[in-house]
């Protein structure tokens, strides 16, 4: 299926290959310089047969797509981040109607910049996602209040030797999610900012244990 851009974002939707009446959909959010195709194969590794929705960020930094502006590496333009997060939320609603998927079965999988906007989406619009897998995520901003994250499963894939994301960042975000009642798994990759096979395997096993997946397959 070719990319589409009539819902506000260039994106690619691949329908589920499963007999489930209400299949899971993975919302795939790339890192800086990626596009709607970048995480499609990762999504298939993480949850074979799930529907996949790859989205391209609308902000360009030196010609490279991102989901929001930054002032410098590690310093976010918070006003733009919140504006772009609301744009993404509207896109998700429109896409769910276009492609007939339920947000109660929507899992965001984000890497780096994509993970950051997914985390922002959870802080600003916590009811939009059933779960999140966040690779190399930073604390997007400090919320004024902690949303109710009860029944929210969160996987954070951090790295011991990440030159971009300090160890304190994913740890701080994990504590924010936990303080709202989320069930958080924090996995440490023994390497840098790149995604490792151990990350993928840990996330795949974690997704296989999700309670709502087991209910759907029962």
Sorted by where each begins, the domain ranges of the chain are 11-217
Report whether 192 contacts 161 (CB < 8 A).
Answer: yes
* Per-residue pLDDT, 210: 84
- Point out which residues pair with 14 in neighbouring strands: 52
Closest to 99 measured CA to CA, from 166, 183, 14, 180: 14
11 is known as an active-site residue: no
Q: Which of 110, 146, 152, 109 is nearest to 127 (CA)?
A: 152
3-state secondary structure of 136: coil
Query: Of the listed 35, 44, 183, 193, which one is catalytic?
Result: 193
What is the Cα–Cα distance from 1 to 80, expressed in whole angstroms?
31
| pLDDT tens track, the chain, 218 positions | 556 667 999 999 999 997 776 789 999 999 999 999 999 999 999 999 999 999 999 999 999 999 999 998 888 999 999 999 999 999 999 999 999 999 999 999 999 999 999 999 999 998 889 999 999 999 999 999 999 999 899 999 999 999 999 999 999 999 999 999 999 999 999 999 999 999 999 999 999 998 555 444 44
The CATH H-level superfamily of 11-217 is: Alpha/Beta hydrolase fold, catalytic domain (3.40.50.1820)
Which pLDDT belongs to residue 2? 57
Which one-letter DSSP state was computed for residue 104?
Answer: G
Catalytic position from the list 96, 112, 120, 131 = 112
Give the largest CA-CA distance in the chain. Answer: 48
Q: What is the pTM of this model?
A: 0.93
CA dihedral sign, ordered 112, 140, 213, 16: negative
19-41 tens-digit pLDDT = 776 789 999 999 999 999 999 99
The two tokens of residue 174 are: 């994990």
**For residue 211, what pLDDT is reported?**
58
Q: What angle do CA 116, 205, 23 make, to 5 degrees?
A: 75
The neighbour count for residue 127, using CB atoms within 10 Å, is 12
When the pLDDT of each residue in the chain is averaged and rounded to a whole number, the result is 92
> Looking at the DSSP assignment, which residues form a beta bridge with residue 156?
134, 186
- For residue 69, how many C-alpha atoms fall within 13 Å in the half-sphere facing its CB? 6
72 has catalytic annotation: no
- Please tell me the distance from the alpha carbon of residue 132 to that of residue 146, in angstroms, as a whole number: 17
**Sign of the dihedral defined by the CA atoms of residues 15, 18, 24, 27, in that order:** negative
Beta-sheet pairing, 25-29 with 59-61: unpaired
pLDDT at 126: 87
The pLDDT, as a whole number, for residue 75 is 87
* CA–centroid distance for 72 within its chain: 22
Of 120, 162, 189, 199, which residue is the catalytic one? 162
- Decide if 112 is catalytic: yes
| pLDDT for res 1 | 56
């Amino acid at each position: 299926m070719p990319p589409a851009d009539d819902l506000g974002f260039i994106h690619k939707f691949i329908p589920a290959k499963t007999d489930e009446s209400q299949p899971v959909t993975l919302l795939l959010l790339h890192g800086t310089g990626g596009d709607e195709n970048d995480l499609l194969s990762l999504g298939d590794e993480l949850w074979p047969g799930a529907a996949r929705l790859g989205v391209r960020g609308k902000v360009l930094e030196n010609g490279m797509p991102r989901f929001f502006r930054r002032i410098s590496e590690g310093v976010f333009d918070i006003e733009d981040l919140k504006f772009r997060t609301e744009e993404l939320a509207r896109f998700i609603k429109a896409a769910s109607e276009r492609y007939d998927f339920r947000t109660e079965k929507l899992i965001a999988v984000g890497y780096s910049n994509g993970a950051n906007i997914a985390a922002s989406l959870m802080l600003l619009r916590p009811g939009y996602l059933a779960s999140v897998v966040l690779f190399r995520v930073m604390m997007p901003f400090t919320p004024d209040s902690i949303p109710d994250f009860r029944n929210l499963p969160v996987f954070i894939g951090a790295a011991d030797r990440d030159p971009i994301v300090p160890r304190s960042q994913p740890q701080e975000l994990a504590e924010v999610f936990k303080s709202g009642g989320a069930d958080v798994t924090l996995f440490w990759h023994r390497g840098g900012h790149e995604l490792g096979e151990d990350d993928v395997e840990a996330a795949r096993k974690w997704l296989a244990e999700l309670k709502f997946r087991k209910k759907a397959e029962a």
